[in-house]
Amino acid sequence: MLVLIAGGFVLSWLLNEWQASLKDHLAHEHIAGRLLSILPAIVISLINFLLRVAGRIFGSLEYQETWGQEEFSQGVKMFWSMLINTACVVLFINAHPQDWYTKGGLVDDVFYMLVIDSIVARICLFCDCTYAFNYLYRRQLTDEKLACMNDAIVKNCPRKTPEQEEALEQMVAEIDGYKQAYEPEELDNPDRYARVLVTFLCSVFFAPVFPAAVFIGMAG
């Protein structure tokens, strides 16, 4: 996770330096300058996504006595890693106060970062992405497919030979796959709590230099 944070810091810093070097060239190109200002925020959001995945994996590898303890461990890892990647990285790459209110400075980075993380990402939660991705797989389950599966089960029951045993195991695995394709995505509590806490703390932390951060955080 530290490697991801370090990689995100380096990429964001390089993008800020590149933007600073092109500032004079983009002085009369407002749209291009704004699009370039969004890049560091996009990088931070992508790193936050990878940090959430890493936190979930590392938390599941630990020994915990209950599901609640495992989710708490995952949430703590997600929260601290995203907080460092979001607040600290943005502040470090805009360390000079004279650059805070310039195009592509601290205020711009905080604005786009909060909009992407607290509003755009929340809108994506209204869509069950896993269920949508399984659409084509669900389309394969036709009436003819169901009839073939039923015939295979009847043909191989009761199990008397190794071939029948193997055929039934394959059929059960295929049926389980279709069942999972029809299941909705589970509510990811560690991810949601970590996002809310990071959004709240970042909004409060950057409020002195960017008061609108509080309203963006409330909208998220």
Q: What is the pLDDT of residue 11?
A: 64
- Can you give the pLDDT of all 220 residues of the chain as single tens digits? 666 666 665 666 666 666 666 555 555 555 555 666 677 778 888 888 888 888 888 888 878 788 788 888 888 888 888 888 888 877 777 777 777 777 767 787 788 888 887 777 777 777 777 777 888 888 888 888 888 888 877 777 777 778 778 888 888 888 888 888 888 777 778 888 888 888 888 888 888 888 888 888 777 6
pLDDT at 25: 57
pLDDT at 147: 84
| 101-115 burial code (b ≥16 CB/10 A, e <16) | eebbbbbbbbbbbbb
Tokens of 139: 């389309």
Query: How far is the first Cα of the chain from the last one, in angstroms, to the nearest whole number?
Result: 25
Cα distances (Å, whole numbers) of residue 77 to 68, 71, 89, 191: 14, 10, 17, 10
Is the pTM of the predicted complex or chain greater than 0.85?
Answer: no
Of 67, 79, 71, give the one whose Cα is nearest residue 1. 79
